[in-house]
Every structure is written in structure tokens, then in C-alpha cells.
Chain A
Amino acid sequence: MVAESAIREPLVTGGKSVHDVTHDISIRVEDKPAPLWLLAMAISIGMLAVGGYFVGGLVWDGIGVWGNNNTVGWAWDITNFVWWVGIGHAGTLISAVLLLFRQRWRMSINRAAEAMTIFAVICAAMFPVLHMGRPWLGAFWALPLPNTYGSLWVNFNSPLLWDVFAISTYFSVSLVFWYIGLIPDFATIRDRATNKISQAVYGALSFGWDGAAKTWSRYETVALVLAGLATPLVLSVHTIVSFDFATSVIPGWHTTIFPPYFVAGAIFSGFAMVLTLLLVTRKVYKLEDYITIQHIEMMNIVIIVTGSIVGIAYITEFFIASYSGVEAEQYAFINRAFGPYAWAYWSMMTCNVISPQLFWFKKIRVNLVSTFIISIIVNIGMWFERFVIIVTSLHRDYLPSSWSMFSPTAYDMGTYLFTFGLFFTLFFAFAKFFPVINMAEVKSIIKATGEKVGVKQTTTEATEKVEN
């Protein structure tokens, strides 16, 4: 246990003892599902089912059920893909980058954030498959597998192939990282479990964790190594996603600023999504002592920083377009701001550039309601950012003869709804069956000298039980 300076605001409030931590977190797993949880789960599965109907129609009839056309070949599909990938970024940033920087405030939020990452990447990965004309072939033809066609390989020049590598690497590393972190907590639940099924299930999930000093040492080494591996992924994944656009020849896409701009945007939207989810979890699970106002303020500061980077990127794009002297490029940007999709552009600008600036005011920054609202606004804005980049660039490119418009159909919305259903079903399942806060890590940051120590006799016993 690390001693904290007495001057610092405690990271966990309420004078929690280590037993309290174990109890507060584990009880959510052990208790019967709350009616509110059942309702939330039912809604999520409902969304999944309704969305599934549209996804079924999409696969059965063809991409034509969407609103895409000859000119706008990608629309909501890739918009949603980039949006979901972006959302995933916060989890990795919180768990890996902040771990390396020894930002200990991350400890009570990293578990949920990582879970969100994994679920968001699963949702994101739906789109590259579903948007294919022939997904039943594309799902494995896009992989460099040996085949009977002779030397028929994938095209290593294609940014889409880079995406395949980037996303699959990202997903596997995030999943392993997240799971390794879960092992000690699964062991705690296993040890507390009173019924056989829980004992068996959590016993299996905890991989025979014994809590020995050597085990802990290995655990921490692996966590550090994985953090080191995951850190470049925070930058690389969205950089590669941005290459889909940056390496093309289409005005509005062909831009070198995309990699940093996309990464900043991803973190921006990811933090917003973490906030949205955690504010709800915190309230429902009464975790106010673990996820404190300080956490929220810290995350809001990250949102101001990344939001401002994104804002500067938007302005830079405009400047470069006018400076380039390229007529089509200039037109692409004028068209974004003043063309038929200007409403999308200005929604993006308002949501992404103006709304996070409100966090300069401490009152707004530490207010739960305003944070919740702005976090949602930011995610709407980031969806529009991708929509603006994809649809408004494509719909009017070089030859005016092929200029067109895009309007979504029920299937576009249904497919998006499907991923929402999937995301929330997974997230609520996680919230019920997995410890939402990393108990083992949080125990290292509670104030050991808290006035409550010794009040409860069981505290030491409980701690010993956990650590053994």
C-alpha cells in the first residue's frame, strides 16, 4: 500500500476500509438482479432484436436497403464504424497510458472503461463486415490466409487491410489486458461465493488465482507489459482508421492532418462515453465514494484538451484548403459549411468545439448533470464529425455530374440500433456479472490511516482473506 499525502484529496472518499471495497463491489455481483437492471437489460435486448431484424434484412437483400448510392459509397456504415472505434479509445488510454504515467485516479474507472472499449470495438467491427456486398466471403477473404488459388494474397497496399490488422490487434490486446486485470477480482468473488455454480464459474474465470506474492508480482509485470503494448495502439488504431481517408484522392479526405486529428477526436469521444456510462453506473450502484467528483473533473479536463485539439484541426483543415489553391479541395470545405449538409457541419462544430469549452467553468465541470448532458452532446458531435467527413466529402467531389445526396433509410438506423443493443446488452451483462471496479487496485489507494480503521473488527480479516 502506498501512502498518500494528507494534503491531497483522497481518491476514494467515505473512509472505506478494504473490506468495504470488497463488499461494495462484490455485492453487486452476488445480489439478485435489481428490477432496474432487469428493465435496462430488457430494453437492450429489445434494441438488439429490433436491430437484428434490420441486419437480417440487410444481409438477405443486399446493401441496397441502405441509403448509400453510386456517389456516396460509404455513409452511416463507416461513420458508425469510426465512431465506435473512437469511443473505444478512452478505455485503453485510461488503463494503459495512465498506468504508465502512474495516474492513480484511473484505478476506480479503468475496469468499466476497458469493458466499454472491448464492447465498442465489437460494435465497430460489425460494420466493416456488414457493409460488404458479400460478407460471407469478405469476412475471411480480407484475412491473409493461405488458399488454394495459388499465390492469391490480400492487397497489402489497401488501408482497409491495415484496418483489419489494426482492429484485430487492438481487440486482442485490449481483451487480454482487461481479462488479466479481472483475474484477482474473480478470485475474490470466487472466495466469497456461497453457491456451487458461482464457485465453479468464478473459479474457472479466475484461472486458479492463489494470491501468492509471486502471483501478484507476475500479475503486475504482465499488466505493465500489456500497458506498454497497448499504449502505441491508442495512437495507431485511429491513425490507421484515418488512413482510410487520408490516403485517398477525394477532396476532404486527402489530408495529412487526419492521424493526430482522429486520435484526439477518438479520445475526446471515448472520454465522453466513459462519462456517460460511469455517471449512470455510479448512481445506480451507489459508487459515489469510488468514482468521485475529482474523477469526473479530471475526465472533463481531458475533454477540454482533446476537444480543443479537434477544434484547431477543423480550423486548420479550412486554412489548408484555401491555402492549397486546389479548386476541388476549396469547394469541398465551402460545401461542408454552406452546402446542403451545412446543418451536419454546424451540429458538429457546436457539439464538438463550443460545448466542451463550457468545461472551463469549474461549476459546470464538477456538476454531474451538466457533465452528463455535455458528454452526450460530445458523442453526437463526434458522430456528426465522421458523417461530415464521409458523406459531405463524397457527395460532391470532382465531377459535378455525379454529385448526389444521401438520405438514410430504416435499415441504416436499424443497423445502428443493432450495435447499440449489442453494446448495452454486453455492458449491462458486464455490470451485473463482473466486478465493475478493480477491487484489488482500488484497495491500494484507500487511506490506510483513515479514521474508520479498527472500527470494524472484521476489516483485517477480510483484507487477509482477499490477499491470501
Chain B
Amino acid sequence: MKETKKVYWKGLEQLTNNIEFVKNADKEFPDHLPINEDDDQGPSRRDFLKMMGFGIAAASLVACETPIRKAIPYVKKPIDVDPAVPNYYATSYHVGNDYNSLIVKTREGRPIKVEGNSFASMNGGGTTAQAQASVLSLYDKERLATPRIGGEKATWSDLDDKLSAELSRANKITVVSYSVFSPSTEAALDQFKAKFNNVEHVMYDPISSHGELAANEASFGKRALASFDYSKAKTIVSIGADILGNHHSHALNSKQFAQTRKLGKGKKEMSRLYSFESNLSLTGANADYRTRIKPSEEGLYVANLYNLIAGKVGAAKVNVGAVADKEKLTKAAGDLLHSKGRSIVVSGSNDKNVQLLVNAINNLLGNYNQTIDINKSVNLRKGDDAQMNRLVGSLKNKSAGAVIFFNCNPVYDHKDGAAIGQSIAGIKTTVATNDRMDETSSLVKYNAPDHHYLESWNDFEPIKGVFSFSQPTISNIFDTRQAQESFLKWSGNFSSYYDFLQERWKSNNAVSKFPNFQAFFDNCLFEGHFEEEVASEGLVYNDTISSVSIRGAKSNGLELVISESSTLGAGFQGNNPWLHEMSDPITKACWDNYVTVSAQWADDNNIELGHMTTQLADLTVNGTTVKLPVIVQPGQAEGTIGINLGYGRTKAGKVGNDVGINAYPFIQSVNGANQQFVSDVTLKVTGEPYKVAVTQTAETYSGRSFVIQESVLKNYVEDPYAGRHQVEITDAAGNKKSPNAVTLWQGHSYNNHHWGMAIDLNSCTGCGSCTIACQVENNIPVVGKKEILNGRSMAWLRIDRYYSYDEESVTEDTGFIDALKIKEKAAANPEVVFQPMMCQQCNNAPCETVCPVAATTHSSEGLNQMTYNRCIGTRYCANNCPYKVRRFNWFKFHDNEQFDKNTAMNNDLGKMVLNPDVTVRARGVMEKCSFCVQRIQAGKLEAKKESRRPVDGEIVSACASSCPSEALVFGDMNDPQSRISKLLDIKKEEKRVEAQEPRAFHALEELRVMPNVWYMTKIRNKDEESKKEHQA
């Protein structure tokens, strides 16, 4: 084959051997391609694809990762902190000017529960609901996490530098606080006063005792509150004072009062309580005789009582008009005279003149140094209204200098809050030690947040000579600093407050009784309590009656009575959902503020009431109008309406903001004292429907003696079975027997323990402390207003409140159905009975038989136990529970944004309060009171470790341990020496227990569910018996 010599050209350019062509001959593309170009041209397509690829891969990797909850073991285990073993520390609850001596339970270094400190004579082992709830306030995410300057986060050194400079330049410094009753705090403030010139410390109390303080100053030369010992009193007359409910010492008062109400084999007498009041308070609810008066008549009633007594003992009378209802007053005077030296007259009035008369009465009755001690003064209230009013004036005209708000919130809780708030902006140096950006502290320049009381060192002197201590139970969660330490720092004292406090106690006389100071101090901290002898001084009483002038009753206008909330107190813990959801002991309402009116008023104004539905009304007080729901309150005095304080916070946090209306601005200043009532207000129903969440809608117990059994003392003395509804049935042989005695099945046998509870309806004051204790102990969720409206409160323990009906309107001619309707309606001034209701731990439990999957079963110790894991949620058990104490998890209440007000279960910090011994229940399962089975198990284990049986009193349910009045007694009915066995006079047979105590009864006895909870009859100390009982 011939070789071809043909050459093919790629183009003319090759043929001509163009220079341009030769240059690019080995390149694939003639044009330049933008690959691997410089960054400044922006990401290329390839970069985009790379980034997208990486992004998708990274995102999917992140999504695949399981969230890691870190649980890091101790590298070096602290001494005494053992996992799952609780530690207890004595401390003192102090929020606002509330006080309680406590034992704090901590688990793995977290305080989770408080108990009353039984060493402390201030509250004697009981706690208030507010104290119980205060552990959650510690874990409140809305507390200030750092100091702030001008609202911006700052460091402490920065704040100290700037503030010290400003303070030293100030010509005057005013420290505003609630009553301070901590000796070391006062000493720290003294150092502060010494460092800066012209420092004024103004103390005020949202609920003022100014009148009582002023009266005592006039009568005894001491500006202090006297301490009362109700346990010694036979006759107590309270005129507008809520000694058992909203009172600075109500836990102690309840304890003492309840002692006089206990009855039994050896004790057939009890005190008699008269109450003259407008709103139905806990005191009125527990009174034997309650008279409805207008608040403006308080003075009149006190003066008339004085005259009645003065007339009998031959003292000078005062000039005063007559009262409308003299009958009860005369009766009260008679009883008081019969129990001279063993009686107490107390008034809630903040009018000095009224309190002077009260002092005069108690003096005539010889109660001083018997039931009332002015030497052992109560220091919880020291506030001076006049001084505070002056401060408001000087704030307005900017002559107050630098102002330090020391843990107080006057913009919210002072009557002139608005004015104070407006003037803060104009003051150069303003400081607040408040724990959050509340109504006051959000306006100030410097925020120096204080520790929570559970993070603090402190000492208190609630009663003269009675000291208690605070010790931190957790290191501070946030970057806060104890306010006292701040004051010391600003005064140039750089020692810690702890050292400062110890230093002060070193000089105490009692130290010499101990080997060294440390031993003394350790003992004080261990007991949380230290008592000093108070030199008893002779009583010097200056009679100032002649100077007293009593204002007569006001016109016919409507009078507004402003009282502290029984749940939120004065509003210090406004962001605490437990307190918001606690139902008011009387109205049973929660999550709201409202105006209470009498049924008569509601009728006259045609208020349409439905199931939890009422109407809004315009309340006009001195020209200010607010819109509030109206609720009908049996026992409300005609011509008066009531409102609660503690609501209407605007900057408390997401839980408490805008719940209800703030009633503090309604408080009036009369003669320099804050008066908690206003005359001539108007209330106009607007007709708009509004729903108020209540946990109980029924008013009465409809005369059902199988629910409540009650009698009067006179009958009880004659027959200890008085008031008992003893059911008898006839057996086959014709013999009358108790329904419990007729059975085919003998029942369970309990060989080891048999837990039971006795509830004395006579000493239960209805305060509700137990309900919060139960909530804290058992991780009970907060469900919010909407779910309460849906009837889905989760409370394991509730307090049923029943009013009496108008017995007079049921006559022989009343038809059966009409009679039923009357029995459902509360009387205008009803008697009240409280019945704590929880799982009755029935021995023949109706819930146990109906559960298809055996999720609720009977224990060998008499407990009706709930196995959450097994529960499928048919709710049959709840339907078949005659006490309706079972609670269903309608939703997932934890980790659910829908229930974000349930802060104890919906954020990581809040969850620290949960009791690790108790399961947080899943959605769809049933739950109920377990008799605090975790405590029973813990107590049994403790005893087992020491090879002994549990000692009575060692295992106590949360409710029983919190009860200030010791109305709840928990224990082992198999132990004949236990308190409950003795109290109920338990007769133990092989398979059943019987209480031989005549007062003991079972609710719904005839159902033969045989509960392990016993109630003891309510006995009132009245001379008249009820019509119903009379007929029986």
C-alpha cells in the first residue's frame, strides 16, 4: 500500500501557522474557563455545590446526633452529699417580710422541699403555703442573673465602683425596705449609715400594722407588736383581724388556736372564737360566732365592747354611738368577763384609736402577761406609714437623695406606687437589690440582685429573744450577691456577710455555755434556732382612753374591704405558679383576682351566674375605674365588697404578669395610717360574661351527714357520739349492725404495717398549706387557668369547703325538691367546715376492682397503689371513686410549651425542684395521693439499716408534716403505741381495724369501702344547736 502523505489541517490557522494558534494549540477550549478563580469573584458553581453538599451532610449529621444530657460524677465527692440520700438543713424562709423557720431537704445539693422547724417556737413545726412554695422561686429563670447598670448587664466590681462614687457624692441616702428583723442585717445597715452621712432607713409593710404599733407605743411606751398566746385563751374576740389566715404569724396562731380546739377523752372543753368581720376570712370561717359588720364599724364595735366590759368592771366608758347588732357583742363581752386573763381581744384595724381601745379592753380583762406579752414583742412588722408617706413626698420633690430599694417593691405594693414609679426616673442614684426586674427595680439605675433566701446567710429575731438562722443550701445559681454583703462593701467593709454575722454572734452571752464559739454556732445552725431569756419587765399601762375618738359608721355607700390574698400573700412571690394555682381556702378560686359581693347584692344587680361563669363589673374607687369579675361570697357583709391584694403584678414574670388587678392603689391613708378599706365605692355590673376558675363549685354539703358530721360542744359533752351519723343495717337474722360488719369477704390482712390517717375537722383551719406541701413533694403539675376551668385540677389533696345552708327556710311544708334546692344554697352568713380530701386508701377499694390491667392494686400495708407504667388510662377507676380524688393526665404537662406556666416541669432550671423520688407522670395515666409512699419506703429502709422498727413520727406524709394546726395525723395503725392508734383508739382485729374514738368516722361509711383515712367530727362551741341536729 502506498503511503499517503496527506496532511489534514485543523483549520486555516494551522496551515498558516498563526502565532495565536500555536500559543493555544494544546488547550482544549479556546476561551478561558473560570475555574479555580480568585475568591474575590465570589463563590463559583462548584463551590456552591461543594458547600451545599457539605451543608446537607452536616445538617443531617447534626440531626442524627442524640441530645446528650450530661451527668458528670463527682471527681471529688463532697462529704455528706450522697446520691439519693437527702440532707436536711435548718434555715429560715424570708421573702418580702414573710417569715417561717424551716428545715430544708436537699438532694444532691439541690433544695427541693421545706418542712417546718419543730424546734422553733415561732411557728412550731408548721409552715405556711407561701413558705412551702418558696423553693420553686429559687429556680425561677426570671430572677436577675447578673448585676445591671442602667438595665445593661454589668460586673459586680463595676457596679461597686460606680455606685460607691455616686453614693459618696449624694447629700442624702434613703434605704427603703420592708420591716427588717434581722439583727445582723441591721448591723450591716448601721455600718452603711456610719459610712455615709445622712442615711435614712425607711421601713414599710404592704400590709401595715402602723396603728397597732402606734397604740402600743402610747399604751406601753414600746413601738412593737405584742405576742399573743392563743393556746391559753378561752375566749377570743377578733374584730376584723384574720388571725388564722392573713396575719404575720398565722402559722403560729393556727397552731395555738388548734390546741384549744382539740377534743378527746380527757379534754371536753374548747375555746370560743367570736369574729366580727366583712369579708369571710379563715378566722370567720373557723369562728363559733361570726357577725357581719362593715369595716367602718370596726371602731364602733370595739368601743361598744369596751363599754360593755368597762360597765361591768367599773371603768370609765367612752362616748360612742350604738351598733346595729348588739346581741353577739353582749354575748362576747359576757364570755370575755367569764374568762378574764384567759381571753384575747384582737382587731385588724390600722387605726391607732381602735387599737388603743383594744389594749384597754385586754387590760381590763387582765390579759397582759397572761395571754398577751408585750415584752416578747413580735418584730415582723415595724413599718411606719407616716414615714413612708413622707418619703413619697420627698421622692416627688427629689429631696430623698440617692434611694436604695432593699428587697422591696413599693411601685407595686405601696398605695402611692404610681407616684413612686414616676419619681424614680428623676433621681440620680437609684439602686435595687430585688431579685428580678420587677415593677420597682426595672426603673432603677443600679440592680444589685440579692441571693434567694436558700442561698443566703442570715439571722432573724422574729420575736424578741427568739432567734433563727439562715444558711445557704445551694451555692448561688446566678451571679447574685447577698444584699447585706453589698451594703458592707459599699460601706468599705470587705469581709463577707458570713464572717460579719459570725463576728456579731461571738459576743453573745450564750457562747460561754459551749466549749467554743464554733460549737455554739454549729448548734445554732443545726437547730436553726436560738432563744434568749427576755427580762420580763413590769407592765406599765398608760390609760389613754380619754383621748380616743371613734369615728362613727359611714354613710350607706358601698365599702370596699382590701385584704391580703390567702394564696399569694402580699404578692412577693408573684411568679410562683404553685401559689397561683392554689385555690383560695374560702372562694376556691385561683389564677384570678375578683370582687366578692353578697348574694343579696348579686340578686339586686341581676348578675347571671353559670358554671364558673360570672360577670365583669366596673369598680370605681376615688375616680379610678377597674374591670373585675364579681363572685358571690356567702358571708359577705351587706353593703361591703371585698378584694384581694397580691394580684395585678406587671413585671413579676411570665407566670404572674397580668393576673388580676392590683388593689394596693385603693388603700387609703387616714391620719397617716394605711387603711385597708374604702368607703363610697361604686360597683357597676357591665354584663360581660367572664369565667373565674374555681376548684369547687358546690356551696354546701347539702345536709349529707355521710359526708360531714358535726355537732356543738354542749351536745358533745353529754354524748361524745354527738353529730355522728351512725348507719345501721339489719342482717339476715334481724340484728342491727353497722354496715361494715356484714360481709362475705373478710378483707386484707396487714401483718407488718397498716398506714392510716386521722383528720380532725375541728382543728383544720383550712389554710391549705398541706395542699402546696403535697404539690411540692409529689411533683404535681400546674395546669393553668384554662384546665382548672375545664375541671382538671391535678391536686392530689384538696380542701373541701362547705357552707351551711339556711336551715330556717326548710320547714315541714317545704317540698322534697325545694328542700334539696335550699340545701344546695349557702346561708347569708354561713358556718363553714373544711374537709381535707385525698385518696382514702380504701381497704375495699372500688378503683382496684375496675381497672382492666391491674394498674391500681392493694399493698400489704393498706395502701392503694398506682402503677403509672401499667396504666392505660381508661379512667374507670376515677369514675368509680366515690371521693373523686383520682387525677388524670389529660395532656402532657411536662416539656410542653402549651403548659409553660408549669415552670417546675418545663425548663431545665425549674426541673431542679422536682423530687427525684417521685415519677413525673406521663400523659394519659391516672395518678392520686400515694400516702407519700416514697417517704414510707425511705423511713422503712432507714429503720431496716438500723435493724429496728420505724418509730412513730419518723414517717410522716408531706401534708401532715406541713400542717400548722396538727389536724392531720399520719401513722401505723398496727402499732398500738402510735399517735394515730391512740388518737383513734384503734381496735385491731385480724382483718380489719376499728376506731373506737366516738368522734372518728369515715366519709361515705355505708359504701363499705373501708377507708384508712378517718375524720373526726366538727364540734362548734355554740350554745345553740342546729335545727337539723335538734330534730334528730
B-contacting residues of A (Cβ < 8 Å)? Answer: 61-64, 67-74, 128, 131-135, 137-138, 141-142, 152-155, 157-161, 164, 244, 247-250, 326-328, 331, 334, 338, 340, 394, 397-405
Q: Which residue of A lies closest to B854 (CB)?
A: A155
Q: Is the CB of B890 within 8 A of A64?
A: yes
Known A-B contacts A334-B820, A400-B802; the reply to A248 vs B880 at CB < 8 A is yes
**Whole-angstrom distance between the Cβ of A329 and the nearest chain B Cβ:** 11
Count CB-based A-B contacts (< 8 Å). Answer: 180
Q: Is the CB of B924 within 8 A of A158?
A: no
Known A-B contacts A142-B852, A159-B850, A399-B882; the reply to A61 vs B798 at CB < 8 A is no
Complex: how many Å from CA A141 to CA B802? 41
**Whole-angstrom distance between the Cβ of B877 and the nearest chain A Cβ:** 8
Type the 1/0 row for B844-859, where 1 means its CB is closer than 8 Å to any CB of A: 0010011111100000
Most B-side CB within 10 Å, residue of A62, A67, A74, A131: A62
Most B-side CB within 10 Å, residue of A63, A74, A405: A63
Query: A328: which B residues are within 8 A, CB to CB?
Result: 704, 706
Query: B406: which A residues are within 8 A, CB to CB?
Result: none
Complex: how many Å from CA A334 to CA B614? 26
Partner of A399 from B707, B791, B874, B924 at Cβ < 8 Å: B707
Q: Is the CB of B817 within 8 A of A399?
A: no
A–B complex contacts, Cβ < 8 Å, 7 sampled: A62-B890, A134-B871, A142-B852, A155-B851, A248-B880, A398-B883, A398-B1007
Query: B1007: which A residues are within 8 A, CB to CB?
Result: 249, 398
Q: Is the CB of B791 within 8 A of A74?
A: no
B310 in the interface (beta carbon within 8 A) = no
Query: B923: which A residues are within 8 A, CB to CB?
Result: 62, 133-134
Complex: how many Å from CA A70 to CA B889? 10
Partner of B697 from A63, A247, A250, A403 at Cβ < 8 Å: A403
Q: Is the CB of A132 within 8 A of B874?
A: yes
Secondary structure class of chain A's binding surface, majority of residues: loop
Query: B702: which A residues are within 8 A, CB to CB?
Result: 331, 400
Partner of A69 from B792, B880, B882, B925 at Cβ < 8 Å: B792
B926 in the interface (beta carbon within 8 A) = yes
Complex: how many Å from CA A24 to CA B790? 55
Q: Which residue of B lies closest to A142 (CB)?
A: B852
Query: B697: which A residues are within 8 A, CB to CB?
Result: 403-405
Q: Is the CB of B802 within 8 A of A142?
A: no
Q: Is the CB of B874 within 8 A of A138?
A: yes
Known A-B contacts A154-B853, A327-B706, A398-B1004; the reply to A73 vs B700 at CB < 8 A is no
What is the size, in residues, of chain B's interface with A at 8 Å between Cβ atoms?
62
Task: In the A-B complex, list the 8 residue pairs whose CB atoms are closest, starting with the nearest.
Answer: A133-B873, A133-B924, A69-B791, A64-B890, A138-B872, A401-B800, A400-B698, A73-B875
Secondary structure class of chain B's binding surface, majority of residues: loop
Given contacts A70-B792, A74-B879, A158-B849, 16 further A-B contacts (CB under 8 A): A62-B890, A62-B923, A68-B890, A71-B791, A134-B924, A141-B872, A152-B854, A152-B870, A154-B854, A244-B876, A248-B850, A249-B846, A249-B882, A250-B880, A331-B702, A401-B801
Known A-B contacts A64-B891, A154-B852; the reply to A131 vs B700 at CB < 8 A is no
Complex: how many Å from CA A155 to CA B850? 8
Known A-B contacts A250-B880, A398-B707, A404-B791; the reply to A70 vs B887 at CB < 8 A is yes
Type the 1/0 row for B367-404, where 1 means its CB is closer than 8 Å to any CB of A: 00000000000000000000000000000000000000
**Whole-angstrom distance between the Cβ of A169 and the nearest chain B Cβ:** 16
**Whole-angstrom distance between the Cβ of B192 and the nearest chain A Cβ:** 53
Query: B892: which A residues are within 8 A, CB to CB?
Result: 62
Most B-side CB within 10 Å, residue of A128, A134, A161, A331: A134
Q: Is the CB of B792 within 8 A of A138?
A: no
Query: B854: which A residues are within 8 A, CB to CB?
Result: 152-155
Q: Is the CB of B611 within 8 A of A160?
A: no
Known A-B contacts A155-B851, A249-B1009, A331-B820; the reply to A138 vs B883 at CB < 8 A is no
Query: B1009: which A residues are within 8 A, CB to CB?
Result: 249
Query: A135: which B residues are within 8 A, CB to CB?
Result: 872
Complex: how many Å from CA A418 to CA B753? 51
Query: A64: which B residues are within 8 A, CB to CB?
Result: 787, 790, 792, 890-891
Known A-B contacts A154-B854, A334-B820, A400-B701; the reply to A73 vs B798 at CB < 8 A is no
Query: B889: which A residues are within 8 A, CB to CB?
Result: 62, 133
Complex: how many Å from CA A393 to CA B1007? 16
Complex: how many Å from CA A67 to CA B611? 14
Known A-B contacts A70-B884, A133-B923, A154-B853; the reply to A142 vs B872 at CB < 8 A is yes
Query: A159: which B residues are within 8 A, CB to CB?
Result: 850
B922 in the interface (beta carbon within 8 A) = yes
Q: Is the CB of B882 within 8 A of A397?
A: yes
Most B-side CB within 10 Å, residue of A137, A153, A159: A137
Partner of B611 from A157, A161, A405 at Cβ < 8 Å: A405
Complex: how many Å from CA A196 to CA B780? 65
Query: A250: which B residues are within 8 A, CB to CB?
Result: 879-880, 882
Q: Is the CB of A142 within 8 A of B853?
A: yes
Query: A131: which B residues are within 8 A, CB to CB?
Result: 874-875
Complex: how many Å from CA A397 to CA B923? 26
Partner of B850 from A160, A327, A402 at Cβ < 8 Å: A160
Q: Which residue of B lies closest to A160 (CB)?
A: B852
Type the 1/0 row for B786-824, where 1 means its CB is closer than 8 Å to any CB of A: 010011110000101110000000000000110010001
Partner of B890 from A63, A164, A400 at Cβ < 8 Å: A63
Query: A158: which B residues are within 8 A, CB to CB?
Result: 849-852, 876
Partner of A133 from B800, B884, B925 at Cβ < 8 Å: B925
Query: B887: which A residues are within 8 A, CB to CB?
Result: 70
Known A-B contacts A134-B872, A328-B704; the reply to A70 vs B817 at CB < 8 A is no
Q: Is the CB of A401 within 8 A of B882?
A: no
Query: A249: which B residues are within 8 A, CB to CB?
Result: 846, 880, 882, 1007, 1009
Q: Is the CB of A74 within 8 A of B875?
A: yes
Q: Is the CB of B890 within 8 A of A141?
A: no
Query: B700: which A residues are within 8 A, CB to CB?
Result: 400
Q: Is the CB of A397 within 8 A of B820?
A: no
Complex: how many Å from CA A394 to CA B882? 10
Query: A160: which B residues are within 8 A, CB to CB?
Result: 850-852, 874, 876
Most A-side CB within 10 Å, residue of B707, B850, B922: B850
Q: Is the CB of B611 within 8 A of A70?
A: no
Q: Is the CB of A164 within 8 A of B698?
A: no
Complex: how many Å from CA A403 to CA B800? 11
**Whole-angstrom distance between the Cβ of B396 and the nearest chain A Cβ:** 50
B178 in the interface (beta carbon within 8 A) = no
